Amino acid sequence: MPLFEIRDLVTAFHTTDGRVPAVDGVSLSIDRGRTLGLVGESGCGKSVTAMSILRLVAAPGRIETGSILLDSPAGPVDLVTLPDSDLRRVRGGRIGMIFQEPMTSLNPVFTVGDQIAEAVLLHRACSRGAARARALEMLRLVRLADPEQRLDEYPHQLSGGMRQRVMIAMALACEPDLVVADEPTTALDVTIQAQILDLLGDLRRRLGTAILLITHDLGVVAETCDEVAVMYAGRIVERAPADVLFARPLHPYTIGLLAARPDPDAAGRAPLRTIPGMVPAPQRFPVGCRFHPRCGHARAAATPEGPACEAPAPELLEVEPGHFVRCHYAERLGEPHPAAVEVRFA
Amino acid sequence: MATYLLRRLLLGCVTLVAITVVVYGLARSMPGNPLTAQLGEDPSRKVSAADYERMQRAYGLDRSWPEGYLQWAGNLLRGDLGRSITRKQPVTTLIGERLGPTLLVSGTAFLLIWMLAIPLGLYASARAGTVDERGVSLVLYALYSFPTFVAALLLQIVFSVWSKGTAWELPLFGMTSLPPDAPLAARIVDVARHMILPVVCQTYVSLAYDTRFIRATMAEAVRQDYIRTARAKGAGPWRVLVRHAFRNTLIPLVTLLGLSLPALVGGSIIIEQIFTWPGMGRLFFESIRERDYPTIMGLTLMFSVLTLLGQLLADLLYSAVDPRVSVE
């Protein structure tokens, strides 16, 4: 089996407005040492998917069904049903996590060295001195300037990029098999973003760590990922190897996302393309294909032969080896419909 | 650091002058004076007008209050807090006598409060939302709302009146009921038994307040992103709560701690009055009733200094518990 696999995950929030299924049947898998990019707009459920992996979803959120399998020497373990004490060994031990907000994700009252050493001490039987030495080694590995001095500094003495390096050092300190990086560069300057992505890619090659990279930035995905899963309204709508996805996107949403990227060559001359409409709120997911109210195909293909997009919900189909699409018109998507993407002035 | 302390000290002195001027002015402006307050209580002690004049001059009561204040301040600078007019003793001696009994009760209560409030507050935040936590919080809220003077009287009825003659009986009031020549061990037990009710009264309100304070600051701390980070690296629930969340709530807690310093020495006027405990709170109450200006001023000065010191202590502790804060 692959190193890591999510099967039919449903994570819902039980609020006063009723049940809100932020993640509604997500499946994905990652092989050892590979990078999977999970992309989508804000509110599509990608962060809730990330939090579900280590059961960090806060109440009133709850994993309702599905399994999260991590391959282990004694066979795959399901993180959804794993007892708390065993899950703690996975957290930070076999799966490391990097969060979006480096400014607030480090504890303000402990030194950087203490916080990395704590991760080591929680998972390895070693002395405080050895843990500190490991923390220093990690700071060197993430190429933080003056690591000896930084070790005894507090988070508020570091810049955002430096703090994110510390987060990466902490997540990797116990040599996990998988790192879940939830928008690791979103809060950073563009130049720092590139440095952090380079660092993650470099560390993956050197340590053989698999990465689940969650982002809304397709440029980031193109540079770093082996495979890409596109998420929309709590579901995966398209999954393919990165080069295939960028060369032959099939789902109208993916096509829209790719088309919406600004073209630096045409900067200022061509209008930015956007997808009409809004991301639906989980309380009001459309029935059938969740993208159909915004889809040019659904409007253009109101013909008697194909199934209507309003119902039933399409399945994720494999249209070519390794390339999955969730669309009733998956077979016909090869030749892009002229009305599939509308052009709007942004 | 040195300049910071110097600045704080100078500021403190200015504050002290302001407080003492206001309190002295107010005390002297109250109707009556130490002579009338004493004489009024005892109709047998008639004093002739000439004697009254003479006594007023002797105690400096014939002069205006600004003059009186300057004289008091001048004596203070020479290290003299003056003599009590009604008790004929140096103010420092009076305070010295009352400090011990007050510290005994409020010190014990202080230790009890913090030894119970921290575990209770942590327990309440760990079990937030469960039935037992709601039960604990409800009881604490009820206690916090319950007036001390009612609780004191209730405890006196239950443990001194209704329990009379049983093993549960506790002394109604006072600090000791044994003669000073009784054996030391017996006197210690006797004072301890007298202490129980005042200590309980002084403990429960602050305990309820502090526990709710800790629970509220913890509820804020556990929502922070760094708590999620701690959980994500595999820390267990108690480690997350105590090491990561509680360590961050120390910042507001040291403020509370610093502000409780004057109360520790000042005692509680209500409790000491109800239990006739010979402490500072009662001395303060009595000195105001007797218009005993030197004692009022001595106590005011002491409480003001302690309040300012408590604030300074809290600010210094701030920088010790929060690396982002520097006293520079």
Tell whether the model's pLDDT for residue A112 goes beyond 90: yes
In our burial notation (b when 16+ CB lie closer than 10 A, e otherwise), range A21-55 reads bbbbbbbbbbbebbbbbbbbbebbbbbbbbbbbbb
How many other β-carbons are positioned within 10 Å of the β-carbon of residue B300? 19
> What secondary structure, in 3-state letters, does B162-211 show?
HCCCCCCCCCCCCCCCCCCCCCHHHHHHHHHHHHHHHHHHHHHHHHHHHH
Closest CA to A307 of A335, A330, A323, A339: A330
Tell whether the model's pLDDT for residue A25 goes beyond 80: yes
Q: Render pLDDT for A242-276 as a digit per residue (tens, 0 to 9).
A: 999 998 888 888 888 888 777 666 666 667 777 87
Helix (H) or strand (E) holding A210: strand A210-215
**Does residue B187 belong to any structural domain of this protein?**
yes
In contact, A331 and A243? CB cutoff 8 Å: no
Q: So what's the pLDDT on residue A21?
A: 87
Chain B hits for A109, CB-CB cut-off 8 Å, are: 247-248, 321-323
Chain B hits for A104, CB-CB cut-off 8 Å, are: 224-226
Separation between Cα atoms, residue A4 and residue A33, nearest integer Å: 11
Q: Render pLDDT for A158-191 as a digit per residue (tens, 0 to 9).
A: 988 899 999 999 999 998 999 999 988 887 888 8
Separation between Cα atoms, residue B268 and residue A132, nearest integer Å: 50
How close does chain A come to B142, measured CA to CA in Å?
28
Task: Copy the structure tokens of residue A44.
Answer: 């599509």
Which one-letter amino acid corresponds to residue A247? Answer: A
Max avg pLDDT among A282-296, A320-334, B179-193: B179-193
Q: Render pLDDT for B46-74 as a digit per residue (tens, 0 to 9).
A: 777 788 888 888 888 888 899 989 999 99
Helix (H) or strand (E) holding A309: none
Which one-letter amino acid corresponds to residue B278? Answer: P
What is the share, in percent, of chain A residues with pLDDT greater than 70?
90
How close does chain B come to A25, measured CA to CA in Å?
24
Q: Report helix, strand or coil for B271.
A: helix
How many distinct structural domains can be found in chain B?
1
Separation between Cα atoms, residue A224 and residue A211, nearest integer Å: 10
Q: Is B212 on the interface with A (CB under 8 A)?
A: no
**Does residue B131 belong to any structural domain of this protein?**
yes
Q: Is B326 on the interface with A (CB under 8 A)?
A: no
**Does residue B112 belong to any structural domain of this protein?**
yes
10 Å CB burial of residue B7 (0-12, 13-18, 19+) is exposed
Q: What does DSSP say about strands A227-232 and A35-39: parallel, antiparallel, or unpaired? A: parallel
Mutation for B interface: A79, A88, A164, most B CBs within 10 A: A88
End-to-end CA distance of chain A: give it in Å, rounded: 45
Pick B226's closest partner by Cβ from A93, A97, A107.
A107
B228 contacts A109? CB cut-off 8 A: no
B324 contacts A91? CB cut-off 8 A: no
Separation between Cα atoms, residue B70 and residue A19, nearest integer Å: 74
**Does residue B63 belong to any structural domain of this protein?**
no
Separation between Cα atoms, residue B142 and residue B132, nearest integer Å: 15
Which one-letter amino acid corresponds to residue A325? Answer: V
Separation between Cα atoms, residue A311 and residue A276, nearest integer Å: 21
How close does chain A come to B224, measured CA to CA in Å?
7
Confidence of residue A133 (pLDDT cuts 50, 70, 90): very high
Q: Is B241 on the interface with A (CB under 8 A)?
A: no
Q: What residues form DSSP beta bridges with B83?
A: B90
| Model ipTM value | 0.86
Rg (CA), chain A: 21
Q: So what's the pLDDT on residue B45?
A: 67
Q: Report helix, strand or coil for A24.
A: strand
Chain B hits for A101, CB-CB cut-off 8 Å, are: 225
A170 contacts B233? CB cut-off 8 A: yes
DSSP E strands: which ranges in A88-209?
Answer: 95-98, 178-182
Closest CA to A177 of A295, A1, A5, A3: A3
Separation between Cα atoms, residue A9 and residue A63, nearest integer Å: 7
> What's the CATH code of the domain at B122?
1.10.3720.10
Q: So what's the pLDDT on residue B42?
A: 63
Q: Which domain holds residue B274?
A: 99-281
A97 contacts B244? CB cut-off 8 A: no
Tell whether the model's pLDDT for residue A343 goes beyond 70: no
How close does chain A come to B134, measured CA to CA in Å?
18
Rg (CA), chain B: 24
Quick check: bond before A60 cis, omega within 30?
Answer: yes
CA distances from B250 to A13, A104, A264, B166, B255 (A): 33, 18, 51, 44, 9
**Does residue B256 belong to any structural domain of this protein?**
yes
B228 contacts A56? CB cut-off 8 A: yes
Pick B231's closest partner by Cβ from A91, A93, A106.
A91
B232 contacts A97? CB cut-off 8 A: yes
Q: Is B231 on the interface with A (CB under 8 A)?
A: yes
Pick B224's closest partner by Cβ from A104, A122, A123.
A104
Mutation for A interface: B226, B241, B244, B325, most A CBs within 10 A: B226
**Does residue B327 belong to any structural domain of this protein?**
no
Chain A hits for B324, CB-CB cut-off 8 Å, are: 108, 154, 156
Q: Is B130 on the interface with A (CB under 8 A)?
A: no
In contact, A240 and A228? CB cutoff 8 Å: yes
Separation between Cα atoms, residue A61 and residue A63, nearest integer Å: 7
Under 8 Å CB pairs connecting chains A and B tally to: 71
In our burial notation (b when 16+ CB lie closer than 10 A, e otherwise), range A227-244 reads bbbbbbbbbbbbbbebeb
Task: Copy the structure tokens of residue A193.
Answer: 């973003």
Pick A92's closest partner by Cβ from B224, B233, B321.
B233
Separation between Cα atoms, residue A28 and residue B71, nearest integer Å: 86
Tens digits of pLDDT across chain B (328 residues): 788 889 989 999 999 999 999 999 999 988 888 887 766 666 666 777 788 888 888 888 888 899 989 999 999 999 888 888 888 899 999 999 999 999 999 999 999 999 999 999 888 888 877 888 888 889 988 998 999 899 999 999 999 889 888 888 888 888 888 888 888 888 899 999 999 999 999 999 889 999 989 999 998 898 899 999 999 999 998 899 999 999 999 888 888 888 888 888 877 889 999 999 999 989 999 999 889 999 999 999 999 999 999 888 888 888 888 888 877 6
Instruction: Give the residue numbers in A contacting B (CB under 8 Å), as ranges.
Output: 54, 56, 88-93, 96-97, 99, 101, 104-111, 118-119, 122-123, 154, 156, 167, 170-171
A107 contacts B248? CB cut-off 8 A: yes
Confidence of residue A120 (pLDDT cuts 50, 70, 90): very high
- CB contact set of A179 (below 8 Å; sequence gap of 6+): A95, A96, A97, A98, A171, A172, A200, A209, A210, A211, A212
In contact, A53 and A15? CB cutoff 8 Å: no
User: Which DSSP letter does residue B83 get?
Assistant: B
Please, what is the Cα angle at A325 between A321 and A329, to 5 degrees? 115
Closest CA to A160 of A138, A135, A137, A193: A193
Chain B hits for A54, CB-CB cut-off 8 Å, are: 231-232
